[in-house]
Amino acid sequence: MIPETLTIAERQILANQFKILSIIGDHNNYETKIEILENGFTEQYFEVFDVAAEEIPIEICEETTQILHMFRRIADATEKLSEEEKYSLDLEKIKFEGFDAQHDTHFHYMRFMVHTMNLWPEYKETYLNSHSRFPLSKYRKILDYQYYLLDCDQYDLNIDDLKCMIELLSSSKKIIVQNA
For residue range 21-54, what is the model confidence (pLDDT) as tens digits? 888 876 667 888 999 999 999 888 888 887 666 7
Q: What percent of the chain has pLDDT over 70?
A: 92
In this structure, are residues 162 and 74 in contact, taking their beta carbons and an 8 Å threshold? yes
Question: Given its phi and psi angles, is residue 120 left (phi above 0), alpha (psi -120 to 50 degrees) or beta?
Answer: left
d(CA 148, CA 165): 12
C-beta neighbour count of 77 within 10 angstroms: 17
- pLDDT, one tens digit per residue, over 162-175 is 999 999 998 765 55
| N residues, the chain | 180
96: pLDDT confidence band, cut at 50, 70 and 90? very high
Residue of higher predicted confidence among 116 and 1 = 116
- Chain-centre distance of CA 172, in angstroms? 26
Q: What is the mean pLDDT of residues 125-141?
A: 93
* pLDDT at 180 (0 to 100): 44
The pLDDT of residue 25 is 76
Task: Answer whether 0.95 is exceeded by the pTM.
Answer: no
End-to-end CA distance of the chain: 46
Q: How far apart are CA 68 and CA 72, in angstroms?
A: 6
DSSP, collapsed to helix, strand or coil, labels residue 60 as helix
Of 96, 103, 90, 164, the closest CA to residue 132 belongs to 103
Higher pLDDT, 8 or 1: 8
Q: Identify any residues that bridge with 129 across adjacent strands, giving them in sequence order.
A: 99
At position 21, the amino acid (one-letter code) is: L
Superfamily of domain 58-170: yfbu gene product, domain 2 (1.10.3190.10)
- The pLDDT value recorded for residue 177 is 52
Does the pLDDT of residue 3 top 90, yes or no? no
**Every domain range in the chain assigned CATH 1.10.3190.10:** 58-170
Which pLDDT belongs to residue 2? 80
CB atoms within 10 A of CB 111: 16
